């Protein structure tokens, strides 16, 4: 397998504020330096200085004079610019946590991926920098040495994610399908559908204000306001849609409708019986 920079789109998405503008600008500059021939899409989820009325897919503008230099950097180093208009802050996922900005993440990822045009794509948060091509070389190595396509595989090729915040469902918090949302690397046809999910609703985020926790739920599991973690929501939504015609839909439905934190052994039993 060979993946050159020309075949890669890089979707960098997240909020752009005065407090993080320098960090984000430096990350964008470094991505262009490392992936000179790649397509870079800069997707803005929210901002306290960008003029959304004047900005477009090719150029971003600021209504604050001190942030004009940031806009110049984006206009110079990004090939395309995407914006989010529908996302609003939501109540916290956990009690005592700050407001949740899941919809900013989902909408900015989805809108950025919609503009991508190369065979492969790196979707990444705008506070995360890969300083060289080692992620691509590691993807090739893992794909060639370990990837095996199974009967119920929903991707055409492997999709790489971070091990950080990809949780073991048998550990302290029993959260199946909690895959890290820090980045994805793989084929565009596989990654674009992951983020083509509905925005999170207020009802979802306040689910446990009107519903009981399952008996036997652990303390961490009883700290949730939302029905599931946001990482689970994204991948539940994706797998539910893409496995509708296979026996594996049973797994997702059990986890969604019964309880997202318990009965993981039932999921394993169904895996045994349908494969």
Q: Compare 258 and 204 and report the one with higher pLDDT.
A: 204
265 has a pLDDT exceeding 60: no
Half-sphere exposure of 214 (CA within 13 A, CB side): 16
* pLDDT tens, residue by residue, 144-191: 988 888 777 888 899 999 999 898 887 767 888 899 999 999 999 999
Give the rounded distance of the alpha carbon of 270 from its chain centre. Answer: 27
Quick one: tokens of 60? 């971003």
Judge contact between 241 and 192, C-beta under 8 A.
no
pTM score:
0.88
Question: What is the per-residue pLDDT for 187?
Answer: 97
3-state secondary structure the chain: CCCCHHHEEEEEEEEECCCCHHHHHHHHHHHHHHCCCCEEEEEEEEECCECCCCCCCCCCCECCHHHHHHHHHHHHHCCEEEECCCCCCECCCECCCCCECHHHHHHHHHHHHHHCCCCEEEEEECCCCCCCCHHHHHHHHHHHHHCCCCCCCCCCCCCECCCCCCCCCCCCCCCCCCCCCCEEEEEHHHHHHHCCCCCCCHHHHCHHHCCCCCCCCCCCHHHECCCCCHHHHHHHHHHHHHCCCCCCHHHHHHHHHCCCCCCHHHHHHHHHHHC
> What is the sign of the dihedral through the CA atoms of 199, 201, 204 and 205?
positive
pLDDT of residue 242: 78
Nearest by Cα to 32 from 70, 78, 69: 78
> Tens of pLDDT along 119-145?
999 999 999 999 999 999 999 999 998
176: nearest Cα among 254, 249, 99: 254
pLDDT, tens only, 52-104: 999 999 999 999 999 999 999 999 999 999 999 999 999 999 988 999 999 99
The token pair that represents 214 in the structure block: 């399952």
Instruction: Give φ, ψ of 77 to 5 degrees.
Output: -100, -15
* Distance between start and end Cα atoms, the chain: 29
The pLDDT value recorded for residue 99 is: 96
Domains annotated on the chain, with CATH: 5-197 (3.90.550)
Comparing CA positions, the residue from 81, 106, 104 lying closest to residue 11 is: 81
Q: Assess whether pLDDT exceeds 70 at residue 267.
A: no
Task: For residue 175, give both structure tokens.
Answer: 């959260």
Q: Does residue 196 contact residue 107 with C-beta atoms inside 8 Å?
A: no
């Amino acid at each position: 397998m060979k993946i050159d920079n020309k075949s890669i789109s890089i979707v960098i998405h997240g909020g752009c504020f005065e407090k993080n503008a320098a960090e984000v600008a430096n990350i964008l500059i470094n991505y262009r330096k490392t992936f000179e021939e790649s397509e870079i899409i800069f997707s803005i989820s929210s901002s306290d200085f960008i003029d959304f009325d004047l900005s477009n897919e090719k150029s971003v503008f600021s209504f604050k004079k001190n942030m004009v230099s940031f806009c110049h950097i984006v206009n110079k180093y990004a090939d395309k610019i995407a914006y989010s208009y529908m996302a609003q802050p939501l109540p916290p996922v956990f009690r005592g946590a700050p407001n949740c900005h899941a919809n900013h993440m989902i909408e900015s990822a989805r809108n950025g991926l919609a503009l991508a045009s190369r065979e492969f794509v790196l979707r990444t948060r705008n506070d995360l920098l890969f300083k060289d091509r080692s992620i691509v070389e590691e993807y090739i190595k893992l794909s060639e040495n370990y990837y095996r396509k199974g009967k119920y595989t929903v991707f055409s090729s492997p999709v790489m994610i971070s091990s950080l915040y990809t949780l073991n469902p048998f550990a302290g918090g029993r959260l199946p399908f909690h895959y890290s949302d820090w980045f994805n690397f793989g084929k565009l046809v596989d990654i674009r559908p992951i983020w083509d999910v509905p925005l999170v609703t207020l009802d979802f985020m306040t689910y446990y204000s009107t519903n009981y926790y399952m008996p036997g739920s652990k303390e961490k599991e009883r700290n949730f306001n939302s029905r599931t973690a946001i990482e689970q929501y994204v991948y539940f939504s994706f797998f539910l849609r893409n496995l509708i015609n296979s026996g594996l839909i049973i797994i997702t439905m059990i986890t969604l409708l019964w309880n997202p934190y318990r009965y993981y052994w039932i999921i394993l039993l169904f895996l045994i019986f349908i494969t």
